[in-house]
Amino acid sequence: MDSNKKLGLIGKNISYSFSKKFFEDKFQKLMLKDFTYDIFDLNEIDEVETLMNDPEILGFNVTIPYKEKIADYLDELSDEAKKIGAVNCVLIRDGKKTGYNTDAFGFEKTLLLHKKAHQNKALILGNGGAAKAVKYIMEKHGIPSITISRNTEINFKNLDSETVRGHKIIIQCTPVGTFPNVEDCLEFPFEGITPEHLIIDLIYNPNYTQFILKASEKGAKTVNGYYMLEQQAEKAWEIWNFQKK
């Protein structure tokens, strides 16, 4: 007899989750009665060991702040997770725990959908797990990029509008502006943004962050993180269900 198949999301202070609704809708549509998807809010990463010892757990997604730390608890990493240095999807099969990065897949689909030929240099805002996945995809497609964070050479304090003008793809990878702090916005020289720009903000809640609103005022093409999220979730589903042994 089939036992329950548990999936879920690990993170810290998860106040909302796209993934839970996404997967529960999927189970309903596919009439899968033995699947569940839960939120595992962990205070410390080592609490994941209890979860991984549950014989019914099939795998889980990983969000802030554990995308990098989770690697220490896994037996193996996929090629892209290894190169990126961040994991957002874990498969547990026959006791073996493998980490994948489906953020890269989701971001790549988003980028290729919206990128124009003249947009050939990028600024990546932030340096967490998601930003690393973005950088990996930029390298894969030969798009030169600069990472901007609090402590990089070019940082949020000294980034100027000239640099912004010269980089036609801008990816906002920090959590600044996420619900419930929807009024927050990164310090950024928006005057450098032009109608030639593509702005991708990986946040999906709210639909339009302050960053997106300010960029669209300058005529830029703006995209939020929703499509990337859907695509990375679909890829995770594929890994959990169809990954060959």
The pLDDT value given to residue 1: 43
Residue 22 structure tokens: 């996404």
- Could you tell me if 91 and 162 lie in one domain? no
Overall pTM surpassing 0.85 (yes/no): yes
What's 84's domain CATH number? Answer: 3.40.50.10860
Compute the distance between CA of residue 98 and CA of residue 81 in angstroms, rounded to an integer: 10
Same domain, residue pair 66 and 126: no
DSSP 8-state secondary structure symbol assigned to residue 36: E
Give the tokens for residue 157.
């304090």
Whether 90 and 156 share a structural domain: no
Domain count, the chain: 2
- Cβ 235 vs Cβ 214: under 8 Å: no
**Residue-range definition of the domain harbouring residue 66:** 5-101+230-242
- Mean pLDDT in each 10-residue stretch from start to end of the chain (245 residues)? 84 86 96 96 97 96 94 97 97 96 97 96 95 97 97 96 98 94 96 98 96 98 96 97 65
Pair (97, 109) in one structural domain? no
CATH number at residue 143: 3.40.50.720
Same domain, 234 and 211: no
Residues 54 and 126 in one domain: no
The answer to whether the CB of 10 falls within 8 A of the CB of 60 is yes
Burial of 37 (0-12, 13-18, 19+ CB in 10 A): buried
List residues bridging with 77 in a β-sheet. 99
Strand partners, 171: 124, 200
Contacts of 23 (CB under 8 A, 6+ apart): 7, 35, 37, 233, 237
Question: What amino acid positions are annotated as catalytic residues?
Answer: 67
Give the single-character DSSP code of 157: T
Pairing of strands 198-201, 221-223: parallel
The whole-angstrom separation of Cα 35 and Cα 163 is 48
* Residue 110 and residue 187 in one domain: yes
